[in-house]
Amino acid sequence: MMVPSHNNIIPKSFLLVAFVLLFTGLSFGLIGALQYVMPGILKDGFSFQKVRPLHVSSVVFWIIFGAIGTVLTYLQEHGTAKNYSHSLLKLQFVIFVITVAAILISYLTGNFGGREYWEFPPYLAIPLIAGWLLFLINFIRSVSSFKNQPVYFWMWLTGIFFFLFTFLESYLWIFPFFAENIIKDMTIQWKSYGSMVGSWNMLIYGSGIFLMDKISGSKDYSKSKMAFGLYFLGLFNLMFNWGHHIYTLPTAAFVKYISYAVSMTELFIFGKIIYDWKSSITTAQKYFNRQSYMFMVAADAWVFLTLSLAICMSVPAINLYTHGTHITVAHTMGATIGINSMLLFAFASDILTAPSSKFIRIWFWIINISLFVFWISLIIAGVYKSIWQMSAVQQPFGNMMRGLHPFFVIFFISGIVLATGLVAVSVLMIKRSFVRATASRNDLIANVQ
C-alpha cells in the first residue's frame, strides 16, 4: 500500500538518526578495540570506562531507533495506521532525540550513576519511558480491529509492551526494597536485560516477516499456524529463558532448571532453520538479486551461528566457564551486528528504496567475512580466558592478557574493516535514496509543467 510521503517523514527521520548513532557507536567501538591492543592509551580523557558505555549506548539506540522507524513505516504500509496522531509521533521523536543526546553528553562529561548498559543518570530514564508510552499509545490508537491480524502485528504489539515493562523492571534497583538484597537485585537486573533484548527482537523479527510477505507478495506465512507457533515459543522464551544470565548467582535451583529447560526449547527453532535450509536456499537464489533480501539471508545465517553459541552457553557446566569472558561479548555482538543490524539494513534498503548497487553487494560480502573473523577472534580469546579462570594453578593476569594480544590485534583489524563496510553501505544507501527521490521529484515537476 502506498503511503503519502508526508506521513513518512518522522519514521524516516528515526531511521536517519539511527544511522548517525551507528556511526557514533562504530567510532567509539574502534577506540575501545584500540584500547584492547594498547592498554592505557587515551586513559586520561577517554578511558575504557567512558568509551564502553558511549559505544554500547550508541549502538543500542541505533537498533532501537531503527526498529521504531521500521515498525512505524510498516504499520502504515500494513494499512492500520490511519488513526495515527502525527503530533504524538513528532513529540515521541523529539523526546527520544533530546534524551539520547543528553545521555551521550552525560557520558562525555563523566556524569554516570546508572547500571551496566544504562550507565547514564537514572533520571534520564524518565523521558525514555514517556517516549515509549507515546509509541504504545499511538500504536494502539492506530488499530481499527484486533481480529484476523497477521503474526507480525502481534509481534510488534507485544514487543512494544514488553520493552516498556522490562525497561521499568530494570530500574527497580532504585527502590531500597530491591537494592538491599544483592541476590534479588542482580537476579531482577539480569532477568530484565535478557527479556528486554527479546522485546526489541520481537519488533525486528516481526518487521522481517512483514518484509518477507512484501517480497513474496503473499500473506500465507504470516497467518499460518507455524508462524503463530513460533511466535508463542519466542514469547515464552522472552519471558522465561533468562536463567543462563544468573547461573553464577546463588538463587533457588528450580528457577535455573526451569529456565534451562525453556532455553532448550529454542532447539526447536534451531532445528526448524536446518529443516528449512534447503528450501530457503532455493528461495534465496530466486530473490538474492533484491538487496533487502540479501541482508535477510545474512541475518538467517547469523541466527544459526548465534543460536549455536547461545545453546552451548546455556548448558550450566559450560556457562560456568564462559561467564565473564569474551565469549559473552562475541555472543552479544554476533547477535546485535549479525542479526539485528543485518535486518535493519534489509529494512532500510526497502524503506529508503535504495536502488541495488554493485558496490553495496561487494561491501555486503566484506562486512560478513570481517564480522566472522571478528566473532571468531573474540571466541578464541574467551576460550583462553576461561581456561585461565578455571585453572588450578593461577597464572598472573598480565601473562594471560599478553597471551590474548594476537587475538585482540585480529579483533581490531577485522573491526576496522567491518566498521568501514557498515559506514560504506549506510552512506551508499542514503545517498542513492536521496538521488532517486530528487530525480522522481524533478520528473513530477516536469510532468506538471
Residues making contact with ligand HEM (CB under 6 A) = 22, 26, 29-30, 32-33, 36, 52, 55-56, 59, 328-329, 332-333, 336-337, 341, 412, 415, 418-419, 422
Quickly tell me which residue has 576461561 as its cell: 386
Nearest approach in angstroms of CB 52 to ligand HEM is 5
Residue of minimal CB distance from ligand HEM?
415
Taking the least distance from each CB to ligand HEM, the nearer of 12 and 331 is: 331
Taking the least distance from each CB to ligand HEM, the nearer of 201 and 336 is: 336
Contact in structure between 238 and 199 (CB atoms under 8 Å): yes
Taking the least distance from each CB to ligand HEM, the nearer of 227 and 339 is: 339
Nearest approach in angstroms of CB 333 to ligand HEM is 5
Taking the least distance from each CB to ligand HEM, the nearer of 32 and 243 is: 32
Taking the least distance from each CB to ligand HEM, the nearer of 59 and 296 is: 59
Nearest approach in angstroms of CB 330 to ligand HEM is 8
Taking the least distance from each CB to ligand HEM, the nearer of 117 and 228 is: 117
Contact in structure between 129 and 167 (CB atoms under 8 Å): yes
CA distance 438 to 253: 61
Taking the least distance from each CB to ligand HEM, the nearer of 55 and 432 is: 55
Nearest approach in angstroms of CB 210 to ligand HEM is 22
Three-class DSSP labels, the chain: CCCCHHHHHHHHHHHHHHHHHHHHHHHHHHHHHHHHHCCCCCCCCCCHHHHHHHHHHHHHHHHHHHHHHHHHHHHHHHCCHHHCCHHHHHHHHHHHHHHHHHHHHHHHCCCCCCECCECCCHHHHHHHHHHHHHHHHHHHHCCCCCCCCCHHHHHHHHHHHHHHHHHHHCCHHHCHHHHCCHHHHHHHHHHHHHHHHHHHHHHHHHHHHHHHHHHHCCCCCCCCHHHHHHHHHHHHHHHHHHHHHCCCCCCCHHHHHHHHHHHHHHHHHHHHHHHHHHHHHHHHHHHCCCHHHHHHHHHHHHHHHHHHHHHHHCCHHHHHHHCCCHHHHHHHHHHHHHHHHHHHHHHHHHHCCCCCCHHHHHHHHHHHHHHHHHHHHHHHHHHHHHHHHHCCCCCCHHHHHHHHHHHHHHHHHHHHHHHHHHHHHHHHHHHHHHHHHHHHHHHHHHHHC
Taking the least distance from each CB to ligand HEM, the nearer of 215 and 423 is: 423
Nearest approach in angstroms of CB 32 to ligand HEM is 3
Nearest approach in angstroms of CB 285 to ligand HEM is 28
Contact in structure between 41 and 34 (CB atoms under 8 Å): yes
Nearest approach in angstroms of CB 35 to ligand HEM is 7
Taking the least distance from each CB to ligand HEM, the nearer of 151 and 238 is: 238
CA 377 vs CA 370, 384, 411, 413: distances in Å = 11, 11, 6, 11
Nearest approach in angstroms of CB 13 to ligand HEM is 20
Nearest approach in angstroms of CB 87 to ligand HEM is 32
Nearest approach in angstroms of CB 340 to ligand HEM is 7
Taking the least distance from each CB to ligand HEM, the nearer of 130 and 329 is: 329
